[in-house]
Structure 1
Amino acid sequence: MSTPLSYTGDEPSFAWDATRKPRAAGLFDMRPPSVPIDAKPIYDADLDCIIGYQKENAGVFRIYTLDGDISVSEKPLEAPLLDPLDVLFMVGGIWRVGVRGLTDWGVKAVGASLERATLFGLRSRYYALMQRPLRFAPKPLMHMKNSGRYVPVHILRLVIKYGERTPDPRGKAGIFMYTHPIARDGKAYMLEVLVRDSDYTVLHFVYKPLQ
């Protein structure tokens, strides 16, 4: 998926219309550094994305938000937790507690319920990531309409927030490259996002397989 960088830095900026999200774009995961690698993602079927993570240690269950904050409870989610084949919890949608099946992306999952306050908190963090929408130059905007190139806006924002920030490869002032590992459908990639800071416009993005 690697493509050469082609931009001037002065491209016009356009808003992203979320209703143009392509079908079958894949399930993306970009966990903050504070979230353990073995924490299970919490998938929200209504939002069609991962909204948090859950990890059990010695009977204590920790719930992590998308920005890595933690709430601690000694009470597990209302679903079996020990099946090693279950990689996601399902919240919302048509999923019922304890029912196993596949997500739209073919990932094995188990139905689970969250306390209302916990679910509200996880969704609130997701919506907070979307409050200041990214803008896009013409070429990356075109990629956002392509199922093979599309990346959810909240994933791009997480990479900008937590990724390694370096100066523009071409040396243009006010432009920065952000890179961070992500997963799509369980496969590892490195996502790079080039951003013009003055108007928060994405000039380039691409994810490349990690060896």
Structure 2
Amino acid sequence: MSIRSIEHDDGPRAWSGKYPGSPSRFQLRHPSVPRDAIPVCDDDIDCIVGYQRVFGRVAYAFDLLGQTAKIWRLNDDEALFDSKESRLVMGELWQPGVRARTRAGQWGYGALLGKDARAALRRRFTELGSAPLLLAPRALDQMEQPESFVPLHILRLGMLIGRKKAGGSEFEFGAVMLVGDGQAGGQTFQMLTVWTNHAMSVIRDFETKPVPSWMVDD
């Protein structure tokens, strides 16, 4: 249950509740992220915070907006991860090259990220959520339901990189995201639609619908 202020109870409010599910299930990939880059989950906060790519012996860490956060050369004794991995994981208890389950119960492989690279991804993830953003009552209700909630940073990404359409007194944003099905390890494509006011400071409503994989451009 979310913690709500008594003041302005019928108006837009900042999200201050606890998610009814794992945020790490959700991925909205920016077009600038290389196709062979693998998502990196920060197990300490249970969110995908960026991507890692290895080309030769050079490693790259990208943030959620597809910008390079760190570039470094791997040591000769560092084993490369399989390019077929569905996710890499970083966190205080994770070591590079170790396979284990995340806190959300999903299998992951320890990312080849040093301390500086991990700090850069976490800092940029925090910056993504630093801009003020309010949710109208309808959107707040959606956030509290396990079957309809979408993490706030994914909603922000949808507004940044989704197709924008103006209509009446609001903007509509549409973007395709990947949603994991929990411990089974599978993923489904879903169309995320977000409606905001014209100042893009209030999310009025959002909706997700399944999208067949054959309709998605890989």
Instruction: Give your verdict on TM over 0.5.
Output: yes
Contact 2:176 2:190 in 1 (8 A): yes
**CA distance in 1: counterparts of 2:148 and 2:140, whole angstroms:** 10
Contact 2:23 2:46 in 1 (8 A): no
**CA distance in 2: counterparts of 1:81 and 1:149, whole angstroms:** 37
> Where do 4+ consecutive residues of structure 1 move more than 6 Å?
none
Displacement after TM superposition at 1:24 (Å): 4.3
**CA distance in 1: counterparts of 2:45 and 2:121, whole angstroms:** 11
Amino acid aligned to 1:208: K
- 1:134-177 deviation line (CA, Å, top 9, x unaligned): 21111111110111111111111111011111012xxx23x100
Q: Quick one: higher RCO (CA 8 Å, sep 6+), 1 or 2?
A: 1
**CA distance 1:161–1:25, shift in 2 (3 Å):** closer
Q: Secondary structure at the match of 1:207?
A: strand
Displacement after TM superposition at 1:210 (Å): 1.1
Contact 1:87 1:107 in 2 (8 A): no
Is 1:118 aligned to 2:113, yes or no?
no
**CA distance in 1: counterparts of 2:106 and 2:35, whole angstroms:** 17
Contact 1:165 1:179 in 2 (8 A): yes
Amino acid aligned to 2:195: L
Contact 1:79 1:112 in 2 (8 A): no
Contact 2:23 2:47 in 1 (8 A): no
Question: How many residues matched?
Answer: 195
Contact 1:133 1:153 in 2 (8 A): no
Q: Which residue in the other structure is 1:134 paired with? A: 133
**CA distance in 1: counterparts of 2:21 and 2:81, whole angstroms:** 32
Contact 1:177 1:195 in 2 (8 A): yes
Amino acid aligned to 1:201: V
Amino acid aligned to 1:57: F
Select which of 39, 50, 53 maps to 2:51: 53
Contact 2:24 2:41 in 1 (8 A): no
Contact 1:39 1:55 in 2 (8 A): yes
TM-score by structure 1 length?
Answer: 0.82
Q: Which residue in the other structure is 2:189 paired with? A: 188
Q: Which residue in the other structure is 1:209 paired with? A: 210
**CA distance 1:102–1:114, shift in 2 (3 Å):** same
Contact 1:22 1:147 in 2 (8 A): yes
**CA distance 1:199–1:97, shift in 2 (3 Å):** closer
Q: Secondary structure at the match of 1:15?
A: coil
- 1:171-196 deviation line (CA, Å, top 9, x unaligned): x23x1001111111122111110011
Contact 2:36 2:83 in 1 (8 A): no
Q: Which residue in the other structure is 2:66 paired with? A: 68
**CA distance in 2: counterparts of 1:110 and 1:198, whole angstroms:** 41
**CA distance in 2: counterparts of 1:29 and 1:156, whole angstroms:** 11
**CA distance 1:81–1:107, shift in 2 (3 Å):** farther
**CA distance in 1: counterparts of 2:106 and 2:83, whole angstroms:** 13
Identity %: 31
TM-score by structure 2 length?
Answer: 0.80
- 1:22-72 deviation line (CA, Å, top 9, x unaligned): 134661111211102331111100111111111122333221111211133
